[in-house]
Amino acid sequence: MSNLLFSPARLGNLTLTNHIAMAPMTRSRAFNNIPNELIATYYAQRATAGLLITEGTSPSPNGLGYSRIPGLFSPEQIAGWKLVTKAVHDRGGHIFVQLMHTGRVAHPLNLPVGAEVVGPSAVAAEGMMWTDQEGPKPNATPRELTTEEVKAVIQEFVQASKNAVEAGFDGVELHGANGYLIEQFIHPASNRRTDEYGGSIENRARFALEVAEQVVRAIGKERVGIRLSPYGVANDLPHYPEIEETYTYLAEKLNDLGIVYIHLVDHSAMGAPAVAPSTVKAVRERFKNTLILSGNYNAERGEADLQSGLADLIAIGRPFISNPDLVERLATGTELAQPDPSTFYVGGEKGYIDYPALVEASV
């Protein structure tokens, strides 16, 4: 059987050099929330991935809940991202930006002046949030968005998506996973609303689907993907009875919109509950475009899931941190370098752009 992992892949109109995506990973090097040359170097070093998906990037000042994460709503941020997309494209890579509005997973100290912590309902997420000023602080209780404001947030996603195209990105990944704003609307524990954005499955899915629909209208369906994490419990979102029904419904509606991919998260190797195989199957059956699977993949398991047709692309996270030439190493069976978690989120070059490739190419 011919190898799929290392052979070219289609993603909408794009031809990727292989079936491996680099999973989105926050690295907290965007001082003042603006991408810079350091970040461009990091992504350029990893441009042999078939598709790079950037770290979570906020479409709004209100969505910058973590310290030093980038945004995509100001001219300075667009200019900063242009450095990144050019560096990646110059090396033959493709890159989508992950649009992450942190919603209630935030502390006001991390937000710019005038911004505020908002969410579907005034329900705080248990957990601590790092602040550079005062260390760890409990997540803030969000202010509940009015119906009118929900529609304005959708427009922030639309504008950020247009900015993404202006900045040279090949597309956007809507972050509908891991307990951030889009999932806060999907999930009944964080969404207690009584308007059209809360209550039934249809209503809780409405925000995600309206964001997707309007972003498609603005930049084209070939440029829009979404990340989802059924059964993920990150950021204080416990299990609820209708998980499979909810994601089956989402997959059907996202298929109707014709977006280019759904990217499913499985963090069971990181201690999260397993994703029900029946839910992955339900999404696979209903969604006809590209399905990306992620979570603790190596080459062997990736190849198996591509061959069986369960996945169309495989996203890999942590190994890309410490192996900029991960694709080459997997293809040749070379031992992988281990990443150092103590440098995941601290600023600077160490643990970021200083992991060597087997053959150093000039960036």
Ligand X SMILES: Cc1cc2nc3c(=O)[nH]c(=O)nc-3n(C[C@H](O)[C@H](O)[C@H](O)COP(=O)(O)O)c2cc1C
CB 60, CB 101: distance < 8 Å: yes
Task: Report how far residue 283's alpha carbon sits from residue 254's, in angstroms, rounded to the nearest whole number.
Answer: 10
Give Cβ neighbours of residue 237 (< 8 Å, ≥ 6 apart).
Answer: 125, 179, 183, 184, 187, 189, 190
- Please tell me whether residue 21 adopts helix, strand or coil conformation: strand
Min dist CB 235 to ligand X, Å, is: 11
Min dist CB 195 to ligand X, Å, is: 28
Min dist CB 23 to ligand X, Å, is: 3
User: What are residue 53's DSSP bridge partners?
Assistant: 96
Taking the least distance from each CB to ligand X, the nearer of 227 and 329 is 227
**Catalytic choice (42, 43, 180, 355):** 180
Taking the least distance from each CB to ligand X, the nearer of 56 and 198 is 56
Place of tokens 């899931």: 305
Write out the residues near ligand X by the rule CB under 6 A.
23-26, 55-56, 98, 100, 175, 177-178, 227, 265, 267, 269, 294-297, 316-318, 344
CB 153, CB 159: distance < 8 Å: no
Task: Report how far residue 81's alpha carbon sits from residue 15's, in angstroms, rounded to the nearest whole number.
Answer: 22
CB hemisphere CA count around 32 (13 angstroms): 6
Min dist CB 160 to ligand X, Å, is: 15
Q: Residue 268: name the closest of 304, 291, 301, 295 by CA.
A: 295
CB 92, CB 17: distance < 8 Å: yes
Taking the least distance from each CB to ligand X, the nearer of 128 and 269 is 269
**Does 180 qualify as catalytic in the annotation?**
yes
Taking the least distance from each CB to ligand X, the nearer of 246 and 323 is 323
Residue nearest to ligand X (CB): 317
Min dist CB 65 to ligand X, Å, is: 11
Amino acid at 360: E
Taking the least distance from each CB to ligand X, the nearer of 249 and 297 is 297
Catalytically active residues, by annotation = 180
